Structure 1
Amino acid sequence: MTAAVSLEGLSVVYDDFRALDTASVDVEAGESFGLVGESGSGKSTLLRAIAGLAPVSAGTIRVEGRELRGARRDKAFYRAVQMVFQDPYGSLHPRQTIDRQLVEPLAIHGIGDGERRILKALDEVGLGSGFRFRYPHQLSGGQRQRVAIARALILEPSILLLDEPTSALDASVQAEVLNLLEQVRRDRKLTFLMVSHDLGVVTHMCERLAVMQGGRVVERLTSTDLVAGRIAEDYTRNLMVASKGFRRKSA
């Protein structure tokens, strides 16, 4: 079976800083795959490289078997791959209604049936039509992130890149958004590539994960192995201790 996303020897360099260093990851179709590591480990850079937002200096990116090169000018790529960013306050235009922000991707891709798609997308993320003509400042953080998810879903992609999608939200709202994402993945049979610094979130959402340090993938394991402590690298053990939801067992 062809992997939904396959990265081989991927490097990203900014001036003299190597943000990503020969990283390789394979994500199967329909899988939820996690990327974890401390700040600056390269996990968000990896997502941005796939989306065409970071300069790739070496390596290959394949999405659904097709190798990607240079800028993402092909609209078909963005029909298949959408990204949800960390900050719902920064990812929505403050002076445009929710309706306008959902119409825009449909207009860019020349997709009709906008009325049905907008209502379906809002309903799917638990907002409903009453939110259509509100502005972002009239919504809570959790509601804004739901709009961002709706905007990603409206093109009916097969792959979602999720960059810390709940870290800017209150703890009580985080669980709601994570449950929403999990439901959407099941219903639409989506592939997720999810970045998080929180190992508790990753073990809840993902079947497999890669641990990143200094731009490199230092360990690959299943969520089951992580929870059971079947870990090879001390770095991963230290992440477990540092992450909320994990505590050392007393002797």
Structure 2
Amino acid sequence: MTGTALSVRDMVVTFDEFVALSHVTMNVNEGESFGIVGESGSGKSTLLRAVAGLNVFESGSLTVAGRSYSGSRRDKEFYRTVQMVFQDPYGSLHPRQTVDRLLLEPLAIHGFSDVDARIARALDEVGLGSGFRFRYSHQLSGGQRQRIAIARALILEPKILLLDEPTSALDASIQAEILNLLEQARKDRNLTFIMVSHDLGVISHMCERLAVMKKGEVVETVSVEALEKREFSQEYTRQLLVASEGFRRTA
């Protein structure tokens, strides 16, 4: 029987007077691929960033692999377990660092010694050869940058990957390659995914269950199978589904 990889209970995040997350509760099982969907401003990225420690949560609880965390305090063990891939591959990589330096930094922080082998393996896993090791990020395409960002996230061998719209900044032709790469990594490493997207098509392809968010609240949690059978309870979920299908038909 699989255990719980990550649990959020009654999480509240506010920015000044604005309530960005209102008593959000979510459970993700070990090895599961879990999606979070909703329109812009629904709170889905705020939730992911609060889990990662990038946004402070005022109240509620976060439990990861049996350990509790509060506010924005995270320790080294957390980042060995949880890594995040951001939406923008241009903004998430330091422009003055080579790929080698970008991949070396987390290994040095966490005290790994076999760095050359790990860097070579990480580049190979994301479909980039050793020839990319000493390039700078400005010498890479958007898809190649996102592959480096994924390699950096995987290099510490985490159990949980937080994915914040990991393909939305990329050309459509590249999106499928990156999603397939992520799916292969999940199978190979038995990873747990928590994936934010405004695109229900992407979530349906990648995930087994999903939380539907609206105005800072989770209005429904449903399996992808139930979603495809139209077995859900919220009108808002139906609207999201109709909107995504309409977009795919006309695209």
Does the alignment reach a TM-score above 0.5? yes
| Letter of the structure 2 residue corresponding to residue 16 of structure 1 | E
- 2:193 aligned with 1:192: yes
Asked whether the 8 Å contact 2:50–2:72 carries over to 1, the reply is no
Asked whether the 8 Å contact 2:9–2:60 carries over to 1, the reply is yes
Q: CA deviation at 1:232?
A: 1.1
- 2:116 aligned with 1:115: yes
Alignment of 1:214-229 (within 5 A): 214-229=215-230
Asked whether the 8 Å contact 2:53–2:74 carries over to 1, the reply is no
- 2:131 aligned with 1:127: no
Q: CA deviation at 1:151?
A: 0.2
Asked whether the 8 Å contact 1:51–1:72 carries over to 2, the reply is no
Query: What is the CA–CA distance in structure 2 between the aligned matches of 1:84 and 1:104, rounded to whole Å?
Result: 16
CA spacing shift, 1:245–1:127, aligned 2, 3 Å = farther
1:13 maps to which residue?
14
Query: What is the CA–CA distance in structure 2 between the aligned matches of 1:97 and 1:13, rounded to whole Å?
Result: 37
- 2:151 aligned with 1:150: yes
1:3 maps to which residue?
4
Q: CA deviation at 1:72?
A: 3.1
CA spacing shift, 1:132–1:8, aligned 2, 3 Å = same
Query: What is the CA–CA distance in structure 1 between the aligned matches of 2:205 and 2:10, rounded to whole Å?
Result: 28
1:178 maps to which residue?
179
Query: What is the CA–CA distance in structure 1 between the aligned matches of 2:216 and 2:66, rounded to whole Å?
Result: 24
Query: What is the CA–CA distance in structure 2 between the aligned matches of 1:168 and 1:245, rounded to whole Å?
Result: 21
CA spacing shift, 1:135–1:215, aligned 2, 3 Å = same
Q: Any gaps of 5 or more consecutive residues in structure 1?
A: none
The sequence identity of aligned pairs, in percent, is 68
Runs (4+) of structure 1 exceeding 6 A deviation are 245-248
Q: CA deviation at 1:70?
A: 3.3
Query: What is the CA–CA distance in structure 2 between the aligned matches of 1:172 and 1:209, rounded to whole Å?
Result: 25
Deviations 1:127-162 (A, max 9, x none): 010100111111110100000000000000000000
Alignment of 1:99-114 (within 5 A): 99-114=100-115
Q: TM-score, normalised by structure 2?
A: 0.96
- Between 143-152 and 104-113, the greater mean CA deviation after superposition: 104-113
Q: Any gaps of 5 or more consecutive residues in structure 2?
A: none
Q: TM-score, normalised by structure 1?
A: 0.96
Q: CA deviation at 1:247?
A: 6.6
RMSD: 1.3
Asked whether the 8 Å contact 1:30–1:192 carries over to 2, the reply is yes
CA spacing shift, 1:73–1:224, aligned 2, 3 Å = closer
Alignment of 1:206-245 (within 5 A): 206-243=207-244
**SS across alignment from 1:243:** helix
CA spacing shift, 1:61–1:73, aligned 2, 3 Å = closer
Asked whether the 8 Å contact 1:200–1:246 carries over to 2, the reply is no
Q: CA deviation at 1:175?
A: 0.2
